[in-house]
Amino acid sequence: MKKIILSISLFCSLIATAQQAPLSEQVAQTVMNIWKDSIPVGGQNKWSYDMGVVLKGFEGIWMNSGNVKYFDAIQKKMDWFVQNDGSIKGYEKEEYNIDHVNNGKLVLLLYRVTGKEKYKKAADLLRSQLATHPRTKEGGFWHKKVYPYQMWLDGLYMGAPFYAEYAMLFNEDTAFNDIANQFIWMEKNARDEKTGLLHHAWDESRQQKWADKSTGRSPLFWSRAMGWYSDALVDALDYFPVNHPKRQALIDILNRLVDAIEKQQDKTTGLWYDIMNYKGPGKEKNYFEASASCQFVYAIAKGVRKGYLPATKLLMARQGYDGIAKQFIKVENGQTNLHGTVKVSGLGGNPYRDGSFDYYMSEPVIVNDPKGIGAFLLASYEMEKFPLLATGKGKTVLLDRWFNSEKEKMLQERKCTGIMCGKKEAIPGFIRWAIFLKTMVPDWLHWMQHLPLPV
């Protein structure tokens, strides 16, 4: 009798463990609570790059979980803007704002999955911006037309991964030289030789008040700017031909930057300060910043997984992710929230942002900022991959296109009978259950949450 009771208790405990959603999915649910159904992330009237950061996180969770609701959310929110003729509501090409290219990554995803021509036309429209976008004398993209002659680290994330994916999909082989040069020129013009860190921005003209008259660099090392740049590297490399002569240069840049930020990681919390390597007046105001810490975790974890970085660097990501979960993730009123993201930090403009430490410290730090949430989702789905990697190592997986087609899953749902009928997650969930039951119990439990069980 005692054995039976013990077995039942253990089974209940295992089921409870299986039903505990990963942190990525908990925070993704917060996104769905705040921006419901087809309502775009961040607002209904603005083609904002913030949305693209969050939805790239959704893409990663979809890939990890097989739960089609994340793909559905991407499509609904992007369809708010992408019209049937391929035009994009709220987008103005002539603004030449590199930020506006970022969402193109999701447009390409939708085209690749659905084959709908409207997504191809929208992607072509964004690609056409890059064809005529203003550039520095070297050839680097200006951050915006209203910020002439300036390259910002942020801009590499906004433009380069989309540019690289488009070039890969549509055979623009010569574009990869241009893409690689964007990173190379940015590092050359922004890197501090002493620390290895990158300044937030560079002004070719040296006309901006924030620009050093000798180097053109902004004064300080803003963490999120380096986070954007490091994430751009690991994402753009996904699409680079393996034999491209400048591919290794990008991997080398990533390694130099990770070595530099490793020295800036707080040894106690595993986190990074908003302004790195600052020792001047008011340094006590500096704070650990959530979005940058998440960005670094993502870039390092993905860099290790893809073989760009040494395996030893994974410890940095683990310590960073643990610190993020402890310091910034809070469950409040049944909702999992991300605290600690600075709302914005920029240079120039009106009112003028001078790049001083006091300026950076004056910007508000908020809860559930889309940039922070997106960075957290990216970091989470990378970190959540690692326990499962050993299971597939050395194995060959054969995929059946018909059986794995989302379209055919929908057809089967309408024809099926029994407890799994009408469940979008049912078929992929059942496949996972069968596979992992043959391997190891922990992995089986991890995936059981995606298997709809009879009520």
User: pLDDT value at position 124?
Assistant: 98
- Look up residue 415 and give its two tokens: 């024809």
Q: What is the DSSP string of 336-382?
A: EEE--EES---SBTTTTB---HHHHHHS-EESS-HHHHHHHHHHHHH
Q: What percentage of the chain reaches a pLDDT higher than 70?
A: 83
The predicted-structure confidence for 267-326, as pLDDT tens digits, reads as follows 999 999 999 999 999 999 999 999 999 999 999 999 999 999 999 999 999 999 999 999
User: How far lies 72's CA from each of 69, 76, 112, 387, 424, in Å?
Assistant: 5, 6, 14, 27, 11
- pLDDT band, very low/low/confident/very high, at 411 (cuts 50, 70, 90): very low
- Look up residue 295 and give its two tokens: 């960005």
Topology adopted by domain 20-395: Glycosyltransferase (1.50.10)
Closest CA to 295 of 256, 267, 254: 254
In which element (H, E) is residue 6 found? Answer: helix 2-19
User: pLDDT value at position 121?
Assistant: 98
Give the residue-averaged pLDDT of 63-80.
Answer: 95
Rounded to two decimals, the pTM is 0.85
The Cα 374–Cα 317 span in angstroms is 17
Q: Which residues contact 194 (CB under 8 A, 6 or more apart)?
A: none
Closest CA to 253 of 156, 319, 139, 149: 156
Beta strands of 243-323 (E only): which ranges? Answer: 275-276
User: pLDDT value at position 417?
Assistant: 38
User: pLDDT value at position 115?
Assistant: 97
Give the residue-averaged pLDDT of 43-51.
Answer: 86
DSSP 3-state of 141: strand
Q: Which residues contact 416 (CB under 8 A, 6 or more apart)?
A: 422, 426
Catalytic residues: 154
- 330, β-bridge pairs: 337
Closest CA to 410 of 394, 428, 397, 435: 428
- Among 4-18, 341-355, 361-375, the minimum mean pLDDT is found in 4-18
Question: What is the chain's mean pLDDT, rounded?
Answer: 87
- pLDDT band, very low/low/confident/very high, at 17 (cuts 50, 70, 90): very low
User: pLDDT value at position 96?
Assistant: 98
* Domain extent listing, the chain: 20-395, 398-455
In which element (H, E) is residue 246 found? Answer: none
The Cα 406–Cα 409 span in angstroms is 5
Rg (CA), the chain: 23
- pLDDT band, very low/low/confident/very high, at 402 (cuts 50, 70, 90): low
The predicted-structure confidence for 197-222, as pLDDT tens digits, reads as follows 999 999 999 999 999 999 999 999 99
Q: What share of the chain is helix, strand, coil (3-state, %, to 5)?
A: 55, 10, 35
- pLDDT band, very low/low/confident/very high, at 406 (cuts 50, 70, 90): low
Bridge pairing between strands 365-366 and 329-332 = unpaired
Give helix 370-392 / helix 223-236 axis angle, nearest 10°: 40
Q: What is the DSSP string of 176-218?
A: HHHHHHHHHHHHHHHB-TTT--B-SEEETT--STTS-TTT-B-
DSSP 3-state of 259: helix
- Which of residues 410 and 376 earns the better pLDDT score? 376
- Look up residue 233 and give its two tokens: 């590297």
Q: Is the pLDDT of residue 266 over 80?
A: yes
Q: Is the pLDDT of residue 441 over 90?
A: no
